[in-house]
C-alpha cells in the first residue's frame, strides 16, 4: 500500500488546498478593501449629516457669539460615540465652546499609522445663507477605532468563511478525486501486481463498465494492449531462444560465444566433443587458452575486425585436453545479446579437408602407385629445363624407359605383383639419380627420366647421358623379390638431347625418346639407343604403311560384303 503522503490524490489535495487558500485570501482582501471603502464613505456621510443638522444652530451661535448655545451644540455632538472632541469658533478664530473626552485604548490600535490614521478631524465652515458671510467654523475629531470594531469583526468573518469554504472545497475535491481517480488507480495497480504474466497462461486486466469511455478505461485498454504485445514478444523471444539453442546444440560445428576480450561465455556440445573438454572447463577459459600461441595475433585481429555485417575467418590450431592439436577454421561475427556486444564463432575441424586437399593436389602432379611425378608435372619441369637450357646454353637429356616382358609378369603372377614391381622399380630409379633430376611414370611400365643439365660439349653430354643410362641398366641386373617371387626384369632405354637446332615441343622430345626406346627393343631389349632423325622417318614410314594396309583391308571386306548381297 502506498503511504498517504505519497498518493497522487493526497498531493493533489494539498496543492488544491494551497491554491484555494491563496485565492480565498486574495478574494477576502478584495472584499475587505471594498468593505473598508464603504465603511469610510458611510462614516463621512454620517459626520456630514450630523454637522448639517446642527449647522443652523451653530451659525446662530457663532453670529450672535452665544456661548451657551455653542456649548449645548458641542455637548450634543459628543453623544456620537465616534466623536471625542468638538469645538465652535467665531470668524476670528476664537473658541466659543469646546468639549473633549479621553480616548480609550482600543483593540484595533494596530491600525494606527499603518494604512489608516486612527484620529481624523472634520472642519465645517459656518456661513450666513442670505449674505454668504462666514461667521465661524464647527470642528469635530473622531476616533476611527470605534468605527473599525465592526469593520474588523466583519473582516475576520469574511476571512474565516473563505478559509472554511476553501478547506471544505479542497476536501470535497480530494474525496471526489479519490473516489473516481485514486481508488480506481490503486485497484488497477493491485491488479497489475497480481497479474500472471506467464506467456503460456497470460491474464489481462478487467475493464469496469463505468470506466469504459473515460481516461482510466483508455489506460486499462492501453495496458492490456501493451501487455499482450509484450507477452507475444516474450513468446517470440522464447521460441527464438529455444530455436537458437537447438541449432547451437545440434550443429556439427563447434560454436563459441565470446565477450570482447575473448572470454568464453557459452559453448555447444560439438565444441566440447571436438576439444575433449567439459562445458564447465571451457567456460573457465578464454579463446587464447585453447589456441596455439602462434595464432594469438590473428585472434586479436579477428576480434577487433569482426562486426555485425561481416564475418572474419581464420585458421587456427586448437588444443584438445590431451594437448593434441586440431586444425580449425574459425568464423566470427558480432552479435548483440541482452544489450551486450558479443562475438559468435563457429569452428570446424579442417584437418581431414586439408589432408584431402593436399592429397588431391598431390595426385594432380604425382602417380598414386609409385609416388613419382606424373605426365603433368614432368611437362612443367621439361618446360623449365628447356627455358633454362636455351638461356644458359647448356645441354639436357630425356631418357624413356620401358620394362621388358612386364606384361608377361603382370598376366602370369597377377596385378598385385606387377604393381609391387613398379613400386620397386621407382625406388631404384630415384635412388640412382641426383636431386635435380626427375624420374616420372607416364603410365603402365613406362618411365621417363629428365636430366636438366649435362656438360655442354656434345661428346661430353652424350657420354654423360650414356653413362647414366648404363648405370640404370645395371640397376636392373639385380633381381626383384616380390611376394616370394624372384624376378629378373630388364628395361629398354631411349635417349634424346635438348636444346636442338630447331625448336621442338615437349611432345616432340618425348616422342623422340619413345622412338629411340622402341629401336632399343628391336635391337634385343636391355639396350639403350639415342634418337636419330632416320629412326623417326622410319617410324613414320611404318605408320603410313600400316594405315594404308588397314584401309585396303577395310575396303576389301566392304566389297566382299556387297557382292554377297
Q: Is 227 exposed, middle or buried (0-12, 13-18, 19+ CB in 10 A)?
A: middle
Considering the domain 366-531 in this protein, what is its CATH number?
Answer: 3.30.70.270
CA-to-CA separations, 520 to 139, 439, 546, in angstroms, rounded: 173, 20, 21
Most distant pair of Cα atoms in the chain: their distance: 197
| One pLDDT digit (tens) per residue for the chain, 565 residues | 567 676 666 777 788 788 888 888 888 888 888 888 888 888 888 888 888 888 888 888 888 888 898 899 889 888 888 888 999 988 888 888 999 888 776 655 444 445 567 788 888 888 888 777 888 999 998 887 777 777 788 888 888 888 888 888 878 877 777 777 777 777 777 766 666 666 555 666 666 666 666 666 677 777 777 777 877 877 777 777 777 777 777 777 888 889 988 899 888 888 888 888 898 988 998 989 989 999 899 888 888 888 888 888 888 989 888 888 888 888 899 888 877 889 888 888 888 888 888 888 888 899 989 999 999 999 999 999 999 998 888 889 999 999 998 999 988 999 999 999 999 999 999 998 988 999 999 999 999 999 999 865 555 788 889 999 999 999 999 999 998 899 999 999 999 999 888 888 999 999 999 999 999 999 888 999 999 855 444 544 554 565 566 666 666 666 555 444 4
Listing DSSP states for 295-349 in one string gives: GHHHHHHHHHH--SS--EEEEEEEE-TTS-EEEEEEEEEEEEETTEEEEEEEEEE
CA-to-CA separations, 48 to 55, 139, 244, 419, in angstroms, rounded: 10, 11, 103, 155
For residues 493 and 399, the answer to whether their CB atoms sit within 8 Å is yes
For residue 459, the model assigns a pLDDT of: 56
CA-to-CA separations, 417 to 102, 430, 478, 491, 503, in angstroms, rounded: 160, 20, 17, 17, 42
Q: How many CB atoms lie within 10 A of CB 19?
A: 12
Q: How many CB atoms lie within 10 A of CB 133?
A: 11
For residue 543, the model assigns a pLDDT of: 46
Task: State how far Cα 50 lies from the chain centre.
Answer: 96
For residue 536, the model assigns a pLDDT of: 44
CA-to-CA separations, 29 to 146, 193, 344, in angstroms, rounded: 21, 50, 76
CA-to-CA separations, 370 to 364, 418, 424, 447, in angstroms, rounded: 14, 12, 8, 11
Q: Quick: pLDDT tens for 327-364.
A: 888 889 988 887 788 988 888 888 888 888 888 888 88
H or E segment and range at residue 536: helix 533-564
- Whole-number Å distance between alpha carbons of 406 and 166: 128
Per CATH, 4-99+115-166 and 251-355 having the same topology is answered: yes
Judge if the upstream peptide bond of residue 52 is cis by omega within 30 degrees of 0: no
Domain 251-355 in CATH 3.30.450.20: yes
Q: How many CB atoms lie within 10 A of CB 549?
A: 10
Q: Which grid cell sits at 361?
A: 593436389
Q: How many CB atoms lie within 10 A of CB 10?
A: 17
List Cβ neighbours of 332 (8 Å cut-off, separation of 6 or more).
Answer: 258, 302, 303, 306, 311, 312, 313, 314, 343, 344, 345
Give ∠ CA 53-58-62 in degrees, rounded to 5.
165
- The upper half-sphere exposure of residue 441, i.e. CA atoms within 13 Å in the direction of its Cβ, equals 21
For residues 124 and 77, the answer to whether their CB atoms sit within 8 Å is no
Considering the domain 4-99+115-166 in this protein, what is its CATH number?
Answer: 3.30.450
Q: Quick: pLDDT tens for 40-89.
A: 888 888 888 888 888 888 888 888 888 898 899 889 888 888 888 999 98
The residue behind cell 566392304 is: 558
For residues 301 and 329, the answer to whether their CB atoms sit within 8 Å is no
For residue 492, the model assigns a pLDDT of: 95
For residue 417, the model assigns a pLDDT of: 93
For residue 402, the model assigns a pLDDT of: 95
The residues spanned by each domain of the chain are 4-99+115-166, 209-242, 251-355, 366-531
Amino acid at each position: 500500500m502506498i503511504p498517504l503522503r505519497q498518493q497522487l490524490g493526497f498531493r493533489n489535495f494539498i496543492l488544491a488546498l494551497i491554491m484555494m487558500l491563496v485565492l480565498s485570501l486574495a478574494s477576502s482582501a478584495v472584499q475587505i478593501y471594498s468593505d473598508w471603502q464603504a465603511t469610510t464613505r458611510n462614516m463621512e456621510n454620517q459626520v456630514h449629516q450630523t454637522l448639517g443638522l446642527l449647522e443652523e444652530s451653530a451659525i446662530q451661535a457663532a453670529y450672535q457669539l452665544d456661548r451657551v448655545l455653542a456649548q449645548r451644540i458641542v455637548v450634543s455632538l459628543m453623544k456620537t460615540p465616534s466623536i471625542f472632541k468638538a469645538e465652535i469658533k467665531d470668524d476670528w478664530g476664537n473658541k466659543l465652546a469646546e468639549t473633549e473626552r479621553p480616548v480609550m485604548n482600543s483593540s484595533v490600535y494596530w491600525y494606527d499609522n499603518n494604512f489608516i490614521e486612527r484620529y481624523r478631524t472634520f472642519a465645517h465652515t459656518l456661513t450666513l445663507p442670505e449674505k454668504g458671510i462666514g461667521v465661524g467654523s464647527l470642528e469635530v475629531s473622531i476616533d476611527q477605532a470605534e468605527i473599525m470594531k465592526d469593520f474588523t469583526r466583519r473582516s475576520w468573518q469574511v476571512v474565516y468563511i473563505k478559509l472554511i469554504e476553501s478547506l471544505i472545497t479542497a476536501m470535497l475535491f480530494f474525496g471526489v478525486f479519490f473516489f473516481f481517480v485514486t481508488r480506481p488507480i490503486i485497484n488497477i495497480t493491485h491488479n497489475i501486481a497480481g497479474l500472471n504474466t506467464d506467456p503460456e497462461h497470460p491474464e489481462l486486466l478487467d475493464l469496469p463498465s463505468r470506466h469504459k469511455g473515460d481516461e482510466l478505461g483508455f489506460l486499462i485498454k492501453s495496458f492490456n494492449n501493451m501487455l499482450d504485445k509484450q507477452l507475444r514478444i516474450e513468446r517470440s523471444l522464447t521460441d527464438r531462444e529455444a530455436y537458437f539453442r537447438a541449432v547451437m546444440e545440434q550443429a556439427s560445428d563447434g560454436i563459441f560465444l565470446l565477450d570482447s576480450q575473448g572470454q568464453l561465455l557459452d559453448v555447444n556440445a560439438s565444441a566440447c566433443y571436438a576439444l575433449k573438454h567439459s562445458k564447465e572447463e571451457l567456460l573457465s577459459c578464454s579463446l587464447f587458452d585453447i589456441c596455439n600461441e602462434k595464432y594469438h595475433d590473428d585472434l586479436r585481429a579477428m576480434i577487433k575486425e569482426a562486426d555485425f555485417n561481416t564475418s572474419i575467418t581464420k585458421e587456427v590450431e586448437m588444443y584438445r585436453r590431451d594437448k593434441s592439436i586440431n586444425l580449425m577454421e574459425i568464423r566470427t561475427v558480432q552479435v548483440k545479446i541482452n544489450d551486450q556486444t558479443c562475438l559468435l564463432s563457429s569452428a570446424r575441424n579442417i584437418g581431414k579437408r586439408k589432408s584431402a586437399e593436399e592429397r588431391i593436389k598431390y595426385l594432380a602432379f604425382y602417380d598414386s602407385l609409385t609416388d613419382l611425378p606424373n605426365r603433368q608435372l614432368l611437362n612443367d619441369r621439361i618446360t623449365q629445363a628447356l627455358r633454362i637450357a636455351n638461356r644458359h646454353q647448356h645441354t639436357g637429356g630425356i631418357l624413356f624407359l620401358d620394362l621388358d616382358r612386364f606384361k608377361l609378369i603382370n598376366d602370369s603372377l597377377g596385378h598385385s605383383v606387377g604393381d609391387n614391381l613398379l613400386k620397386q622399380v621407382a625406388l631404384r630409379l630415384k635412388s640412382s639419380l641426383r636431386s635435380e633430376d626427375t624420374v616420372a611414370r607416364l603410365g603402365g611400365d613406362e618411365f621417363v627420366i629428365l636430366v636438366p643439365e649435362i656438360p655442354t660439349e656434345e661428346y661430353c653430354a652424350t657420354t654423360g647421358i650414356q653413362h647414366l643410362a648404363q648405370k640404370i641398366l645395371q640397376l636392373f641386373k639385380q633381381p626383384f623379390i616380390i611376394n616370394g617371387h624372384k624376378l629378373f626384369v630388364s628395361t629398354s632405354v631411349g635417349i634424346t638431347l635438348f636444346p636442338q637446332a630447331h625448336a621442338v615441343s615437349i611432345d616432340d622430345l618425348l616422342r623422340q625418346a619413345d622412338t629411340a626406346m622402341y629401336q632399343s627393343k628391336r635391337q634385343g631389349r636391355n639396350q639403350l639407343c639415342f634418337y636419330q632423325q632416320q629412326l623417326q622417318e622410319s617410324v613414320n614410314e611404318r605408320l603410313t604403311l600400316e594405315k594404308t594396309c588397314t584401309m585396303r583391308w577395310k575396303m576389301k571386306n566392304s566389297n566382299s560384303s556387297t557382292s554377297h548381297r
